[in-house]
Amino acid sequence: MRKHLGEAALALLIALTVGVLFAGAGLNLPVLQLVLAIVVFQLGVASWRVYYTQRVSIATTRSLRNLDEFERVQSEERLRARYAHRERRLEQRHHAHVKRLIKDVAEVSRQLTQMQDARS
């Protein structure tokens, strides 16, 4: 949430800085309006992210409060099962990747040996 609030604060700071610099210099360039429009858009995006994150957080908190003890235990078991399944999948992918790398290294080593034998 700090990240999104930081984005909003940064966008506001840029808008104020650009506005003050152009107004102080007495320049009336159309670039100023474009820059300010972009900064205001970024401020809106950051604000939407904060709003959405808070809405999800509040909905999650409310749903967890409404669960009774049995439902809470079931929910935790489902989460544990999901993460255990995910870990197994990642481990299988890792082992397959390691096997493929070992085969590739063996092939490169074999090719190097053949090249050295061909030179001799």
C-beta of residue 14 within 8 angstroms of C-beta of residue 39: yes
State pTM to two decimals. Answer: 0.38
C-beta of residue 55 within 8 angstroms of C-beta of residue 6: no
pLDDT tens readout for residues 26-58 = 666 666 676 777 777 877 887 888 888 888 888
Sequence letter at residue 30: P
Q: Taking the domains of the chain in order of start, what are their residue ranges? A: 1-66
pLDDT tens readout for residues 51-62 = 888 888 888 888
